[in-house]
Structure 1
Amino acid sequence: MNKKPNLVIFVADEMRADSLRHLGNKASITPNLDNMVEDGVSFRNAYCQNPVCVPSRCSFLTGWYPHTKGHRTMHYLLEEDDPMLLKTLKENGYHVMWIGRNDVIPADKDLSKYCHEYYPGESELTNESMLRYAEWEKSWRGKPGSDNYYSFYAGKTKRENVITDWNCIDEAIEYIHNLPQNNIQPFCLYISLVFPHPPYACEDPWYSMIDRSKIDDIRPVPKDWSNKASMLEKIYEKQNLINWKLDKFKELRATYLAMVSRVDYQFGLIINALKERNLYDDTSIIMFSDHGDYAGDYGIVEKTQNTFEDPSCRVPLIIKPHKDIKVKPRISNALAELVDLPATIADMANIKLAYTQFGKSLLHVLEGGEEHKDAVFCEGGRLRGETQAMEQGHGPESLYWPRLSTQCEEGPAHTKAVMIRVGNFKYIERLYERNELYDIKNDPQELNNLIDQERYKNLVNKMKDRLLRFYIETADFVPIRKDRRY
């Protein structure tokens, strides 16, 4: 093929893998994403490298792990000389259209290095729009001290309250429809949505479509919090959902799944637009999420920066390659990471990445292979005294106060930690507090911490050895330059 393939990179925000119908959720309505398995591969065991937005995005757009350059906070974004996937594609002849969330390039920097066009999804914030949002938030939060104040639960809403993603989808469809006939230059359409990021709010018809009776059991509140990271217990106490009954958590989960269903519908609109322009076969499509969401599991909502249960760090990853790449459509059980995306996309586009990165191309899995990585990793948290990683500045009036106030404490809760999954076992090494080990096949809710059981001692030692190799291999990045010494 002489012409490089077109690329559509479709990113959801805070979508957990088990929110998709074809991955086992009976209450989900995700026909468009489910149908992608007919032409591509859905990865059942794909993991993000950090369970919050900025560090994850900095990782999957560079091919670096968060620790490689210290991306463990929402406030440290990419620097000007850092490699970045969209910039690489632009430099290699792609017309790059960036639509939606940024979260990787500082707001005061010029985006022209990374794309030809950028559309943020919303007009410039005005006092009027900020007041309108504040009034909407006030309408569903209730008063301070109420059990809904930190729940993020808004429920059924109107389209105008959640309009940003619709603006993004409209812009993307217009871009596709306006592409010149017989367009020679390949395009990369990078769409980064807000949904299903909380507040948990959705409009009809999606809000009413979810059958509440099919909601799977919410992961219960642990009987003994000492078996889990103390960050979770702190958030549980501060979010004040202690008196919520199961049916209320299921209603919140139903709203979350409605948000996922709306994302699925919007994804379908993009697929239809590509097919209408006869671009579908010549376009590689990559859909995934930056991280997951607890959405009521363990009695908490939202996400945390240093806990690694599957609802938080196992994410959807679906790849439909262009027609010149051999593919065996299916759901793959291979272990995969979002850090693999730059290598995979570069392989699809026949581009050489001119820097050291740590991902591994997934093309051989698309072709039918099931062996990819022996281990996957996710990491986060901070050292004691790292005030720059506390994400200070949120008072009790902030929805995020339960998590962020805990991050500012110097107790064990915001410990620096790393997760490794090998086979069906997940091991978490923590500074300052107890480590964790889970058999996720026999304990899929990750409630039984096996770390103190003697029979798993050898397994834990093997996990530790693998972590050591991981850090030696990926601990730093030597820039591709020679600075003048004299």
Structure 2
Amino acid sequence: MAERPNIILIMTDQQRYDSIAALGYPYAVTPNLDSLAENGVTLTDCHITAPSCVPSRASLFSGYYPHTTGVLANGQKWQHTWVEKLRDAGYRCVNVGKMHTIPYNSDSGFHERYVVENKDRYMEGRYYFDEWDKALAANGLVKQQRETYRQLPDYRDRLGTFDWELPEALHSDAFVGNMAKWWVENYPPTEPLFLQVGFPGPHPPFDPPARYTKPYLECNDLPLPQPTREELDSLHQELKDKRQHDVEVDHDSVVWSLDPTPDQMHRLWAHYLGNVTLIDEKVGELLASLKERGYLDDAIVIFTSDHGECLGEHGLIQKWSMYDIVTRVPTIIWSTSGRFEGGRELNGLCQLFDLGPTILEYAGITPPESFEARSLKSALETGDWTPRTHVFCEQMGDVAMAGGTEFMTGVRSDTWKLVHFKGSEDGQLFDLENDPKEVRNLWSDPAYLDRKRELLDVMRDWLIESNYRTRDVMAGAR
């Protein structure tokens, strides 16, 4: 066993916890991720710190909460990461695919970056020409995107679902998987290696090649969301406004419906799961190449995502909310050389950015004392750990926060969740033990006033402690 293992961090974008067969969703075709879970450790209650791409990733790769990094919404600049510490310690640091730094092409601690960004860019860096764009152009092709999708007569009825009709190898997730495999197979062997592979999917547009979608379309047993009128009427006004906004504005080529048909929902889930199966296939191919080149003789392999996806639950699409389907992400950690026992679950609350100090410790680097993230190394190796009593989530007004709410803050314990909306007297309070689907909002129920006050106190104390702990960190320096 080497002193420092190779570290492989594989990330998807917008992947739900319940999209992998081994994690309790038998409808998913995910044999390679299932194998990873069977051999590794599954973190069953890992929650993000922000329900959108950029602030979640900035938090993960810095070790601080979004309010400390100053990155609280998509499009905000960030570029410095703890990857710089790996590079300075002698790791060869390589990124293939999505990191979502702003600017996209900052080095962020990597020796090499092969950047592939959002499938359908319409905000910052819309005309940034990434590696995927270059590959399409070299083949005389233009990627499928919003301008062309809008020309389809049934565009508004598709809910963001399309078939990838260009060469399969040039689908964004196939391209990222193939490029990572190409790097592993062609670069002169280098150790220790930190390889971050960022798949753009299953983030919308939901557009896998048809062969991945077909089995799910033929499955008549897919459990589809069926929010009741009572639940929709009880949504916070911000989320009601979001529902309407997503009908009127086609973010990521998705035009939402306030009352989707069962056929529309079936197609939505089939395309989403089809994209997950495509990614699973590419993960398997990458791991096979890593093994053949010797990188898995001693490695820590991590699979996770930056946040989840509503997919029609609660009447919502995409992210920008704080339901568990958005905040809880699949997270699997595997030691290929037995540094810790696999084939088990690590139950208890943790946060996605806890992966940062975990990686640093396995690389022989002491995380900064000011880190708000906590290493899971001891928990992985001994199983003896103290889970977080609460996890937190933050989001500043973003493109789909159309109701005028400037800021959302969430706090979750094992059994309760509270979401505070700045400037609103209304909020969300859920009894997760008796209402795990988060359908019955107890915010205005006088019987739960003490519980609401308790969680608001926890939120206040967390913010005070955070400000104190990071007092020497320049907030917003990125």
- TM-score scaled by structure 1? 0.84
Question: Post-superposition shift, 1:355?
Answer: 5.8
Post-superposition Cα deviations, 1:40-94, rounded to whole Å, max 9, x if no partner, equal 1111211111111100000000111111132112121215xx4x12222111111
Match of 2:101 in 1: 104
Unpaired segments ≥5 residues, structure 1? 383-389, 392-402, 482-486
- CA gap 1:342/1:131 in 2 versus in 1, 3 angstroms: closer
Post-superposition Cα deviations, 1:363-395, rounded to whole Å, max 9, x if no partner, equal 23323236421111111134xxxxxxx55xxxx
Looking at structure 1, the residues matched to 153 and 237 of structure 2 have their Cα atoms a distance apart, in angstroms, of 26
Looking at structure 2, the residues matched to 272 and 365 of structure 1 have their Cα atoms a distance apart, in angstroms, of 28
The answer to whether the 8 A contact 1:140-1:154 is kept is no
1:201 to 166, 182, 207: 207
Please state if 1:426 is matched with 2:417.
Answer: yes
AA matched with 2:150? K
2:384 to 365, 369, 379: 369
AA matched with 1:418? T
- CA gap 1:332/1:217 in 2 versus in 1, 3 angstroms: farther
Please state if 1:288 is matched with 2:304.
Answer: yes
After alignment, is 170-179 or 218-227 more displaced? 218-227
Looking at structure 2, the residues matched to 131 and 352 of structure 1 have their Cα atoms a distance apart, in angstroms, of 43
Match of 1:266 in 2: 282
- CA gap 1:27/1:132 in 2 versus in 1, 3 angstroms: closer
Looking at structure 2, the residues matched to 131 and 44 of structure 1 have their Cα atoms a distance apart, in angstroms, of 36
Match of 2:112 in 1: 117
Looking at structure 1, the residues matched to 324 and 460 of structure 2 have their Cα atoms a distance apart, in angstroms, of 23
The answer to whether the 8 A contact 2:133-2:143 is kept is no
Match of 1:470 in 2: 462
Looking at structure 2, the residues matched to 432 and 161 of structure 1 have their Cα atoms a distance apart, in angstroms, of 48
The answer to whether the 8 A contact 1:26-1:215 is kept is no
3-state SS, counterpart of residue 285 of structure 2: helix
Question: Post-superposition shift, 1:14?
Answer: 0.5
3-state SS, counterpart of residue 426 of structure 1: strand
Question: Post-superposition shift, 1:312?
Answer: 1.5
After alignment, is 219-228 or 84-93 more displaced? 219-228
3-state SS, counterpart of residue 96 of structure 1: strand
Match of 1:76 in 2: 76
Post-superposition Cα deviations, 1:396-445, rounded to whole Å, max 9, x if no partner, equal xxxxxxx26x2xxxx54x24121111112111122222121112232222
Post-superposition Cα deviations, 1:264-313, rounded to whole Å, max 9, x if no partner, equal 11111111112222332411011100111111223332222xx2011211
Number of aligned positions between the proteins: 444
- CA gap 1:449/1:132 in 2 versus in 1, 3 angstroms: closer
3-state SS, counterpart of residue 202 of structure 1: coil
Post-superposition Cα deviations, 1:119-149, rounded to whole Å, max 9, x if no partner, equal 1241448698558635642354746xx444x
AA matched with 1:428? V
Looking at structure 2, the residues matched to 197 and 287 of structure 1 have their Cα atoms a distance apart, in angstroms, of 16
AA matched with 2:433? K
- TM-score scaled by structure 2? 0.85
Question: Post-superposition shift, 1:5?
Answer: 0.6
Match of 2:315 in 1: 299
3-state SS, counterpart of residue 223 of structure 1: helix
- CA gap 1:136/1:331 in 2 versus in 1, 3 angstroms: farther
Percent sequence identity is 26
The answer to whether the 8 A contact 1:58-1:77 is kept is no
- CA gap 1:31/1:131 in 2 versus in 1, 3 angstroms: closer
Looking at structure 2, the residues matched to 438 and 197 of structure 1 have their Cα atoms a distance apart, in angstroms, of 27
Question: Post-superposition shift, 1:13?
Answer: 0.4
- CA gap 1:132/1:327 in 2 versus in 1, 3 angstroms: closer
Question: Post-superposition shift, 1:467?
Answer: 1.3
The answer to whether the 8 A contact 2:41-2:343 is kept is yes
AA matched with 1:167? F
Match of 1:456 in 2: 448
Looking at structure 1, the residues matched to 170 and 188 of structure 2 have their Cα atoms a distance apart, in angstroms, of 32
The answer to whether the 8 A contact 1:287-1:316 is kept is yes
Please state if 1:230 is matched with 2:245.
Answer: no
Unpaired segments ≥5 residues, structure 2? 117-131, 248-255
- CA gap 1:335/1:175 in 2 versus in 1, 3 angstroms: same
Looking at structure 1, the residues matched to 419 and 56 of structure 2 have their Cα atoms a distance apart, in angstroms, of 18
Match of 1:348 in 2: 362
Looking at structure 2, the residues matched to 110 and 312 of structure 1 have their Cα atoms a distance apart, in angstroms, of 28
Match of 1:19 in 2: 19
3-state SS, counterpart of residue 150 of structure 2: helix
Looking at structure 2, the residues matched to 48 and 480 of structure 1 have their Cα atoms a distance apart, in angstroms, of 21
Match of 2:325 in 1: 311
The answer to whether the 8 A contact 1:44-1:334 is kept is yes
Please state if 1:62 is matched with 2:74.
Answer: no
Post-superposition Cα deviations, 1:149-186, rounded to whole Å, max 9, x if no partner, equal xx2222565545962222221221122223545x4x30
Looking at structure 2, the residues matched to 430 and 135 of structure 1 have their Cα atoms a distance apart, in angstroms, of 35
After alignment, is 225-234 or 337-346 more displaced? 225-234
Looking at structure 1, the residues matched to 386 and 343 of structure 2 have their Cα atoms a distance apart, in angstroms, of 16
The answer to whether the 8 A contact 2:303-2:332 is kept is yes
Post-superposition Cα deviations, 1:222-275, rounded to whole Å, max 9, x if no partner, equal 525453232321232241513421232122112111111111111111111122
Looking at structure 1, the residues matched to 68 and 50 of structure 2 have their Cα atoms a distance apart, in angstroms, of 12
Looking at structure 1, the residues matched to 229 and 386 of structure 2 have their Cα atoms a distance apart, in angstroms, of 34
Looking at structure 2, the residues matched to 348 and 303 of structure 1 have their Cα atoms a distance apart, in angstroms, of 32
Question: Post-superposition shift, 1:38?
Answer: 2.6
The answer to whether the 8 A contact 1:420-1:426 is kept is yes
The answer to whether the 8 A contact 2:58-2:69 is kept is no
AA matched with 1:282? D
Match of 2:192 in 1: 186
